[in-house]
Structure 1
Amino acid sequence: MTQRVLILGIGNVLWADEGFGVRAVEELARRWKFPDHVKLLDGGTQGLYLLPFLEEADVLLVFDAVDYGLEPGTIKVVEDDEVPRFMGAKKMSLHQTGFQDVIATAQLMDQCPEKLCLIGVQPVELEDYGGGLRPLVAERIAPAIEIALTYLARHGVQPEPGQSAADLLADPAILRDAYEAGRPSEDEACRTGDARFFPAGA
């Protein structure tokens, strides 16, 4: 029986390195075409709304920015029972609380994927509203993807060069290149955040 695989990027792209997980799955989809039993999803900060996707999966691979207490830019991989523990060890934001709840709920309902893998990177900067990934963290996307491909191969997933369907990824307007290219210069940027996300007249 073919295992159903969910590759999930979580985090908030509006807060600098918080967006690592989303950007990693975005790049994976841009470079590789996966078979039909593999689903790529930008989970953002959706919390329990992700539960139906977990219920459908046998294998779950998650990309995220995680505060491991390590040097910035460090990649750390944890699997299976360790994943909930690391997601809840030192929360950087509400999305991690939400995702820990998703896993706990799926386990309670006996519908959690049998195999779990978290590929996390230690962030450099989080307190920059409207900012993109810092170069050190952006450089970790490629090695994180290589780790993911190796893990997926262990579970019989062999993608081909190409592109995956983007229907469960971010709107094109907020994909990394468009988003970061649209950021104002240092002279023009609002010091209390990114003016692109303020309501008109604020």
Structure 2
Amino acid sequence: MSETPSVLILGIGNLLWADEGFGVRALETLQRSYRFPANVRLMDGGTQGIYLVQHIREADVLVVFDAVDYGLPGGSLKRVEGDQVPKFLGAKKVSLHQTGFQEVLAMAEMLGDYPQHLLLVGVQPEELEDYGGSLRPKVREQIEPAIDLVLNYLKDFGIQAERRDQPLTPDTLVQGAISDMQTYEAERPSDESACRAGDARVLQSDAFDLAYRPVDIQGGAVSVDVDAHLDKYRQGESD
């Protein structure tokens, strides 16, 4: 590793599934509050999965914020380093990411480039089934402690973050309410208006009964005899 290591800080997860968004929210808070030297990149990895491989290959030091099932009480914060990281991002992962991050790390290693130093800062999720929900209080409270862990870890590599005089505002980062946790929560409809338990107007109405009708294509019957159809096709080819 060079004297000036290339550092990648990733926040991964899905904002739309409650505590699954912890990694992204922690990364946003870090970016909003601190400046870093040019050799440190902060990236919202979201659910990009395999598309993160090239970025990981370029990193000497990789730091990951994520929601991880450690088998601990909800809201528990835990750091894992080195060779132990893939273990916790694999078998006990509770993420909805399109590709498991364990597979992403494995592909980077297979391609010949793997971070020399790896840190996972994860929180035990409390709720993952609330689509459109935000972080639960116990999980949200771990954002600042998680950031402190990362800042202290980076000091071992001679990296000192500088706190911003004025935190970045959400519109400086990304346009849209979802980029601001407070706005995202404030604009969320109630469970009743969002019909999160199902829409009673549909579920309890006779107006939506299904009517089954026979299919008629150009007046002929629809054949589902695949073998007979293929035999007829093959016979036509041989003629």
Q: Tell me the TM-score normalized by structure 2.
A: 0.75
Instruction: Tell me, yes or no, if structure 1 residue 133 matches structure 2 residue 135.
Output: yes
The percent identity for this pair of structures is 60
Greater alpha carbon shift after TM alignment, 126-135 vs 104-113:
104-113
2:189 maps to which of 160, 184, 189 = 184
Distance 1:101 1:138 in 2: 27
Structure 2 counterpart of 1:31, one-letter code: S
Q: Which residue of 109, 112, 128 maps to 2:111?
A: 109
Tell me which structure has the larger Cα radius of gyration: 2
Aligned pair in 2 of structure 1 residues 89, 4: CA closer, same or farther (>3 Å)? same
Aligned length: 192
Unaligned 5+ residue runs, structure 2?
Answer: 199-239
Match of 1:29, SS state, is: helix
Q: Partners of 1:11 and 1:94 in 2: how far apart?
A: 7
| Aligned counterpart, 1:78 | 80
Distance in 2 separating the partners of 1:172 and 1:30: 16
Match of residue 42, structure 2, among 40, 43, 56: 40
Distance, in Å, in 2 between the alignment partners of 1:62 and 1:73 is 17
Deviations 1:148-173 (A, max 9, x none): 11111111110111158x9xx65443
Q: Quick one: which amino acid aligns to residue 45 of structure 1?
A: T
Tell me the CA shift for residue 81 of structure 1. Answer: 0.3
Task: Name the CA shift for 1:103/1:96 in 2 (closer, same or farther; >3 Å).
Answer: farther
Which one-letter code corresponds to 2:68 in the other structure? V
1:174 aligns with 2:145: no
1:37-93 deviation per Cα after TM superposition (whole angstroms, max 9, x unaligned): 100001001011001111111000000000000111111110010001110021213
Task: Confirm or deny: 8 A CA contact 2:66 2:123 kept in the other structure.
Answer: yes
CA positional deviation for 1:179: 1.8
Aligned amino acid, residue 161 of structure 1: R
The residue matched to 2:56 in structure 1 has which SS? Answer: helix
Equivalent residue number for residue 54 of structure 2: 52
**Structure 1 Cα separation of the partners of residues 78 and 150 of structure 2:** 12
Report the AA paired with residue 178 of structure 2: I
Q: Which segment drifts farther, 11-20 or 97-106?
A: 97-106
| Counterpart-to-counterpart distance in 1, 2:26 and 2:195 | 27
1:117-137 CA distance string (max 9 Å, x none): 000000110000000000110
The alignment's C-alpha RMSD in Å is 2.1
- Mapped partners of 1:121, 1:56: distance in 2: 26
Which residue in 2 is equivalent to 1:198?
none
CA distance in 2, matches of 1:96, 1:116: 22
C-alpha distance in 1, partners of 2:150/2:175? 23
Structure 1: distance between partners of 2:19 and 2:85: 20
CA contact (8 A) 1:91 1:97 kept: no
Q: Taking structure 1 as the reference length, what is the TM-score of the superposition?
A: 0.88
Secondary structure of the equivalent of 1:118? strand
Does the 8 Å contact 1:42/1:170 carry over to 2?
no
Distance in structure 2 (CA, Å) of the matches to 1:158 and 1:192? 48
Alignment of 1:90-169 (within 5 A): 90-95=92-97, 97-162=99-164
CA distance, structure 1, for counterparts of residue 131 and residue 174 of structure 2: 18
- The answer to whether the Cα contact below 8 Å between 1:7 and 1:61 also exists between their aligned partners in 2 is yes
